[in-house]
C-alpha cells in the first residue's frame, strides 16, 4: 500500500512537472515568436545588427560613422494651409502626402528616418552601405516632385489647395545609432550632414527651386542629371558658404520650381 502511495505521489509529481514544462515551453515559444515578429518589424527601421545588439545587450549608446545622403523635404506654406482647412481634411491631406513621398523614397532605396510635422527626413546608405546613394537620393527627389504633381491633380479635383515642397540633399558622414531616451528611442543618423540637408531645404524658397543639392552630392552624381549652379549660400551653423545646385527636370531639360 505504502509502495502504491509512493508510486502515485511520484506519478503525480511527474505529471505536474510535465505540465509545468509544457506550459513553460509554450510560454517560451510565444515569447520567441513575439520577439521574432518584433525583430522583423524593426528590421524595416534599423539594421539587423543593431536590432540583434539591442536584443542581446539592451539599448546601448554605441554609434558608428556612416556615409549617408540625407534628404530633407518640407511643405511650402504649410502653416497658412493648416489655418485654411478643417483639421480632419488637413490630416487626410498630410497622410496622402506622406504616403506618396515615402513610396517614392523607398522605391529608390532610401528609408524615412522620421516625420517632423510636415517635414520628412529620409536617409540613403544608413541601413546598408550604398555606393550609389547620391544618384538614388536625387532620383527619389525627382520621383517626389512627380508624385506631388499627381497628388495635386487629385487634391484640386476635390476642390482642395495644391501643395508645394522644397527638398534639400547633402552627402557626408553621420553618426548612426539608437538615439533617444529610455521611453522613446529610434535608429537615427545625427550630425552636420542631416543639419545641412535641412538648411539647404530652407534655401529652396530663396532660390525659387524645389530641389537643391550640395556640392558633395553633385560630385557623385551621374551625368544624366541636369543641374543649375547657384551662388554659394551661408547656412546657419556652417562656417563657410555652401555651394548648391538646383536639380532640373532631366527628361525635359528645363528648370522646375
Partner 1 sequence: MTLVRDIAWDTCLLRPQRDPEIVRDLRREIGTPVGPGCFYFAAAPWMPSALARLNRAMLDRTHLDRDLIDWIGLVVSQESSCRYCFATQRAMRIGMGTSPAEMDRLERDFLVAARSDRERAALEFTRRVARANPLATGEDRDVLLRAGFSEDETREILVHIALGVFFNRLSTQSALPPQPMERMPDKWHLRLLQPLIAIRLRRMRTKRAPATLGPIDGPFAPVLRSFDGLHAAPPLRDFVDQLWRSEDVPRRGLALVFAVVARALGCRQGEASARALVIEEGMAPEALARVLDHLDGPELDRFEQVALPYARETAWVQAAQVTRLQRLARDAQAKLGEAEFVTLLGATSMANALCRVGATLPAD
Contact flag: residue 32 with partner 1 (CB under 8 A): yes
Per-residue contact track with partner 1, 128 to 167, x per CB under 8 A? xx-xx--x--------------------------------
Which member of 90, 112, 143, 220 binds partner 1 (CB under 8 A)?
A: 220
Contact flag: residue 252 with partner 1 (CB under 8 A): no
Whole-angstrom Cα distance, residue 157 to residue 154? Answer: 5
Contact flag: residue 35 with partner 1 (CB under 8 A): yes
User: Least CB distance from residue 131 to partner 1, whole Å?
Assistant: 6
Which member of 1, 5, 44, 239 binds partner 1 (CB under 8 A)?
A: 44
Choose the stretch contacting partner 1; rule: CB under 8 A; options: 39-47, 113-121, 183-191, 200-208. Answer: 39-47
Which member of 23, 162, 222, 257 binds partner 1 (CB under 8 A)?
A: 222
Choose the stretch contacting partner 1; rule: CB under 8 A; options: 5-13, 28-36, 69-77, 88-96. Answer: 28-36
Which member of 39, 114, 146, 152 binds partner 1 (CB under 8 A)?
A: 39
Contact flag: residue 59 with partner 1 (CB under 8 A): no
Q: How many CB atoms lie within 10 A of CB 89?
A: 13
Quick one: 78 or 225, whose CB is closer to partner 1? 225
User: Least CB distance from residue 224 to partner 1, whole Å?
Assistant: 7
Contact flag: residue 40 with partner 1 (CB under 8 A): yes
The strand pair at 111-116 and 119-124 is best described as antiparallel
Site residues (vs partner 1, CB under 8 A): 29, 32-33, 35-37, 39-40, 43-44, 47-49, 55, 127-129, 131-132, 135, 220, 222-224
Amino acid at each position: 500500500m505504502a509502495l502504491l502511495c509512493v508510486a502515485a505521489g511520484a506519478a503525480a509529481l511527474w505529471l505536474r512537472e510535465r505540465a509545468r514544462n509544457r506550459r513553460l515551453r509554450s510560454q517560451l515559444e510565444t515569447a520567441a515568436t513575439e520577439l521574432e515578429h518584433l525583430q522583423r518589424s524593426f528590421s524595416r527601421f534599423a539594421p539587423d545588427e543593431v536590432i540583434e545588439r539591442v536584443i542581446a545587450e539592451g539599448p546601448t549608446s554605441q554609434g558608428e560613422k556612416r556615409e549617408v545622403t540625407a534628404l530633407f523635404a518640407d511643405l511650402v506654406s504649410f502653416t497658412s494651409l493648416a489655418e485654411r482647412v478643417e483639421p480632419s481634411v488637413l490630416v487626410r491631406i498630410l497622410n496622402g502626402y506622406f504616403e506618396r513621398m515615402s513610396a517614392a523614397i523607398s522605391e529608390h532605396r532610401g528609408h524615412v528616418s522620421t516625420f517632423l510635422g510636415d517635414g520628412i527626413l529620409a536617409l540613403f546608405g544608413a541601413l546598408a552601405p550604398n555606393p550609389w546613394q547620391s544618384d538614388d537620393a536625387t532620383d527619389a527627389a525627382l520621383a517626389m516632385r512627380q508624385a506631388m504633381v499627381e497628388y495635386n491633380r487629385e487634391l484640386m479635383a476635390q476642390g482642395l489647395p495644391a501643395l508645394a515642397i522644397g527638398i534639400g540633399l547633402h552627402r557626408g558622414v553621420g553618426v548612426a545609432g539608437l538615439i533617444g531616451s529610455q521611453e522613446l528611442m529610434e535608429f537615427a543618423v545625427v550630425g552636420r550632414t542631416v543639419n545641412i540637408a535641412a538648411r539647404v531645404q530652407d534655401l529652396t524658397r530663396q532660390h525659387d527651386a524645389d530641389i537643391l543639392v550640395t556640392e558633395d552630392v553633385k560630385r557623385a552624381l551621374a551625368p544624366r542629371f541636369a543641374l543649375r549652379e547657384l551662388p554659394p549660400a551661408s547656412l546657419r551653423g556652417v562656417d563657410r558658404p555652401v555651394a548648391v545646385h538646383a536639380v532640373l527636370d532631366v527628361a525635359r531639360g528645363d528648370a522646375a520650381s
